[in-house]
């Protein structure tokens, strides 16, 4: 509430014999003041909103370290279909949108894709730490195989450092796609990544094979720098 000008105060308040102010009529701020307050308010909200949106649309770091399916990968490359790997942090709230998008895109190409989801399991934590609702959500998607990624070593092997990062290889082990399948942090809805994956899985060529990934980091930032610096 803005400070009431002295003149306005005397117009609207008086004091009784005990010195207590009594309102003569409700205080009404002048239109200019009201408008100014509203403009300032709108500006503040807009600014905060933009900052928030900006954050929401800030992609996580990507480190493309492979172009073909590694032979020492913990899962085998499907020779008949494309192989899709999704790396996720079990507690990342943004990855919930990724799981929804994965579920949705599989409705379009489930027969053509072998899907594996790897959940980070730090060596310092128990299995329960990893088996969250996201784990259960991923497990409930038909055709999806869920795996534990101890200390994110597998993700690192595929150059993934952000939860929600997806990589897809063709049956010959060639990298088809690398990126996120949401349009922002935790934001469901149409997005280029999901569209590209459906197209690629169904044998349709697309120019989009790399999209930003929106999610929590799979490892601490300093660890990521070490990984990046590793030849």
Partner 1 sequence: MNPHMPIHSNVAHRADELFKEQQLSISKHTDYVFARLMIFQWIAGVAAAFLISPRAWAGIESHIHIHVWAATLLGALITSVPVAMAFMQPGKTLTRHSIAVGQMLMSALLIHLTGGRIETHFHVFGSLAILAFYRDWRVLVSASAVIYVDHLLRGFLWPQSVYGVMSAPIWRSFEHAGWVGFEVVFLIISIRKSLIEMQNVAERQARLEALNETIERTVAERTAELTREIAERRQAEIELKKSQVQLAQAQQIAHIGSWEWDLVTDKVSWSEETRRLYGFAPTDTGMRMDACVQRLHADDIDKVRNALKRAVETGEPYDCDHRIVLPDRTERVMHGRGEVSFDDDGKAIKILGTAQDITQLRRNEEALRRSEEQLRQSQKMEAVGRLAGGVAHDFNNLLTVITGYCALLLRRLAPTDPLRSNGEQIQRAAERAASLTRQLLAFSRKQVLQPRTLDLAEVVVGMEKMLHRLIGEDIQLRTICDPNVGKVEADPGQIEQVILNMAVNARDAMPQGGKLTIRISNVVFDQKTVIRNRGLEAGSYVMMAISDTGVGMTPEVKTHLFEPFFTTKGVGKGTGLGLATSYGIISQSGGDIRVYSEQGTGTTFKIYLPRVEKNIMKVVDASDTDALPGGDERILIVEDDEAVRALASTVMSQCGYNVELATDGQEALKMIESGLKFDMIITDVIMPNMSGRELYDRVRASLGDTKVLIISGYTDDALANRGVLEQGFKFLEKPFSPISLANKVREVLEDRSPDANAARMALSA
> By the criterion CB under 8 A, which residues form the site for partner 1?
1, 26-29, 31, 34-35, 37-38, 41-42, 44-45, 48-50, 52-53, 55-57, 89, 91-94, 96-97, 120, 122, 124-125, 152, 163, 183-184, 186-192, 195, 216-221, 223
Identify whether the C-beta of residue 68 lies closer than 8 Å to the C-beta of residue 169.
yes
136-150 burial, b at 16+ Cβ within 10 Å, e below that, comes to ebbeebeebebeebe
Whose CA is closest to 212, among 48, 56, 69? 56
Cβ closer to partner 1: 1 or 22?
A: 1
For partner 1, the closer CB: 91 or 131: 91
Between 152 and 160, CB nearer to partner 1: 152
Give SS3 for 231: coil
Q: Shortest gap between Cβ of 10 and partner 1 (angstroms)?
A: 19
Tokens coding 201: 């899985």
Token pair for residue 191? Answer: 């997005």
Angle formed by the axes of helices 192-201 and 95-109, to 10°?
Answer: 30
The helix/strand/coil state of 64 is coil
Q: Where are the alpha helices (DSSP H) in 91-208?
A: 95-109, 127-130, 133-139, 153-157, 192-201
Closer to partner 1 by CB, 49 or 203: give it. 49
Contacts of 71 (CB under 8 A, 6+ apart): none
**Residue among 129 and 171 whose Cβ is closer to partner 1:** 129
CB of 182 to partner 1, least distance (A): 8
CA 34 – CA 119 distance, rounded (Å) = 53
CB of 25 vs partner 1, minimal distance in Å: 13
Nearer to partner 1, 78 or 101 (CB): 101
CB of 78 to partner 1, least distance (A): 28
**Shortest CA distance to 215 belongs to which of 120, 98, 136?**
98
Q: Which CB sits closer to partner 1, 114 or 163?
A: 163
Q: How far is the CB of 39 from partner 1 (least distance, A)?
A: 10
């Amino acid at each position: 509430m803005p400070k009431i000008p002295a003149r306005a105060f005397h117009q609207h308040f008086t004091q009784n014999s005990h010195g207590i102010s009594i309102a003569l009529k409700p205080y009404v701020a002048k239109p200019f003041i009201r408008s100014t307050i509203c403009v300032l308010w709108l500006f503040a909200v807009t600014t905060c909103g933009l900052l928030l949106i900006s954050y929401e649309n800030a992609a996580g770091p990507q480190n493309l370290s492979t172009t073909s399916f590694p032979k020492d990968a913990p899962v085998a490359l499907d020779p008949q279909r494309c192989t899709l790997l999704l790396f996720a942090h079990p507690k990342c709230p943004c990855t919930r949108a990724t799981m929804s998008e994965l579920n949705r895109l599989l409705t379009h190409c489930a027969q053509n894709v072998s899907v594996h989801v790897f959940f980070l399991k730090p060596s310092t934590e128990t299995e329960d730490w990893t088996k969250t609702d996201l784990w259960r959500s991923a497990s409930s998607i038909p055709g999806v195989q869920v795996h534990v990624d101890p200390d994110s070593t597998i993700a690192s092997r595929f150059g993934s450092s952000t939860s929600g990062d997806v990589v897809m290889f063709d049956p010959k082990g060639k990298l088809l796609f690398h990126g996120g399948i949401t349009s922002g942090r935790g934001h469901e809805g149409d997005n280029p990544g999901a569209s590209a994956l459906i197209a690629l899985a169904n044998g349709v060529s697309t120019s989009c094979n790399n999209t930003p990934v929106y999610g929590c980091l799979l490892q601490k930032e300093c660890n990521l720098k070490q990984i990046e610096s590793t030849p």
